[in-house]
Amino acid sequence: MDRRSFVIVVVIGSELLFRLAYANFLLPMGPPFDTDAVKLLYTAAARVAQCAAIILLALDLCGLKTESPRNEALAGIGVSLAFGTAVLLSDLAVRPFFPGGWLSLLLSKQTMAEPMLFFLVGCVLGPFAEELFFRGTLYAWLRERMPPSAAIVLSSLLFAGLHPGFAVQLTGGLLFASLFEWRKSIWAGFIVHTAANLSIWLIPWIIDIGPR
């Protein structure tokens, strides 16, 4: 078994163990283990453990290394601005014909009891761990075995299938995998992923999307 294959098995196994432990041991204990803060902290612990496993086992294979962090940052910021602008303009363009815009079909206002913790876990740590695994490890493993277009689609379907909101997540997966194929590094995708998660949270409040 090569190192990428081993890392994939380790991460999937750890995810199953973390989920089983929470569902069968912590959650039945009730308060305070069923609060949003504890759920976020537990998720953070799982993602830190998975990132550590990937980095320790395959530092040179997971897309962390790059010749120019500055260029990766610029690429990520540029794609984030371009994609975000296109999404918002398309939503505004249809509002005269479709009240509420098409984003109202996909997004809803989310009230967070722990906004700073949610930002750190959902918009920083989560995207970093997912880029390390889904693009730096899983996509790279698929890319060795099939053409890039097939690897992009398959990895994106797997990514979306493990998240709520399939259409939004599939779009994100296709974008992030395409960025990894272009940049050969996770950093541009990480920046776009962070911006996307933050936007999904904030946009319904900024442009007044009501609850579905």
CA separation for the pair 38, 32 (Å, rounded) = 7
Asked, for residue 211, whether it belongs to a domain, the answer is: no
Q: What is the mean pLDDT of residues 161-185?
A: 95
- pLDDT score of 198: 95
The mean pLDDT value of the chain amounts to 92
Structure tokens at 172: 């994100």
Which amino acid is located at 127 in the chain? P
Q: How many domains, the chain?
A: 1
More confident residue, 210 or 49: 49
The length of the chain, given as a count of residues: 212
Asked, for residue 212, whether it belongs to a domain, the answer is: no
Least confident residue range of 41-45, 158-162, 187-191, 200-204:
200-204
pLDDT surpasses 70 at 90: yes
pLDDT band for position 208 (cuts 50, 70, 90): low
Q: What is the mean pLDDT of residues 2-16?
A: 97
pLDDT surpasses 90 at 97: no
Q: What is the mean pLDDT of residues 47-52?
A: 98
pLDDT surpasses 90 at 106: no
- Domain containing 118 equals 3-206
Structure tokens at 10: 């380790």
Asked, for residue 118, whether it belongs to a domain, the answer is: yes
Asked, for residue 122, whether it belongs to a domain, the answer is: yes
CA angle 133, 139, 141 (to 5 degrees): 95
- pLDDT score of 27: 83
Nearest residue to 194 via CA among 108, 96, 123:
123
CA separation for the pair 138, 54 (Å, rounded) = 11
- pLDDT score of 210: 47
What does pTM read for this prediction?
0.93
Structure tokens at 78: 């540029």
- pLDDT score of 138: 98
Asked, for residue 89, whether it belongs to a domain, the answer is: yes
CA separation for the pair 157, 171 (Å, rounded) = 10
Which 3 state secondary structure label does DSSP give 186?
A: coil
CA separation for the pair 75, 34 (Å, rounded) = 40
pLDDT surpasses 70 at 84: yes
- pLDDT score of 98: 84
Nearest residue to 42 via CA among 13, 20, 22:
22
Nearest residue to 103 via CA among 20, 209, 211:
209
Nearest residue to 61 via CA among 6, 113, 109:
6
Nearest residue to 163 via CA among 15, 10, 9:
15
CA separation for the pair 38, 26 (Å, rounded) = 10
Residue 208: left if φ>0, alpha if ψ -120 to 50, beta else—which one?
A: left
